[in-house]
Structure 1
């Protein structure tokens, strides 16, 4: 799992990319598609068309880190409704890399048994 810095912003590029791209190719996308600086320390996440591969690019003090995950029997859940650049929380990023739908918002209210009597 990615070691997330608490102050790092996380961006998911919602359109599919060619996952053969490596650090230089992804840095180019960060600059030209997202309008961001690759060396900002922020985390930039990309996926392929079949949604079985994710790549995350970030700058870590003295060099780029490229994190790559390939699902073997499932696909990552990335909604077709998402457009362009999507900001993710740290929790949403963890859910994405685990293969869960990070867009589902659950009701945080607890139900108590005594409420039904």
Structure 2
């Protein structure tokens, strides 16, 4: 898990991104396409065309980090909006990285009794 300080915003870059891109190229995409400062401390999540790989770009104040996660099965749930970026909470990002539908998380089981 990425140690996210409180107050950091998480942005999903809608659409798909060429996953061959590195941190400099993704930072440039944040600056030009999303019209945001990639060095401001926010997290930016990019998804590939197949949907099973995401890259997370984050500047923590000391330097730029690039994280990648590939799902063995399934695809990451992605917003269908086409207007640049969607803001989500850190908890929703944690759900997303586990392959859970972050828009409407459901418990896998419910207790039947209290005792």
Structure 1 residues 76-115: aligned runs within 5 Å: 76-79=76-79, 81-83=80-82, 84-104=84-104
What is the CA distance between 1:103 and its match in structure 2?
1.4
Partner of 1:94, secondary structure, is helix
Structure 1 residues 28-67: aligned runs within 5 Å: 28-67=28-67
Cα distance per residue 1:7-50 (max 9 Å; x no partner): 11110011100011111110011001110011100000000011
What is the CA distance between 1:105 and its match in structure 2?
6.6
More helix by share: 1
What is the CA distance between 1:51 and its match in structure 2?
0.7
Name the TM-score, length of structure 1 as normaliser: 0.83
Q: Using the alignment, how far apart are the partners of 1:76 and 1:95 within structure 2?
A: 10
Name the TM-score, length of structure 2 as normaliser: 0.85
Q: Which runs of 5+ in 1 are unaligned?
A: 107-117
Q: Using the alignment, how far apart are the partners of 1:48 and 1:15 within structure 2?
A: 9
What's the Cα RMSD here?
A: 1.6
Find runs of 4+ consecutive structure 1 residues off by over 4 angstroms.
none
Q: Tell me the residue number matched to 1:4.
A: 4
Q: Using the alignment, how far apart are the partners of 1:100 and 1:78 within structure 2?
A: 11
Q: Which runs of 5+ in 2 are unaligned?
A: 107-115
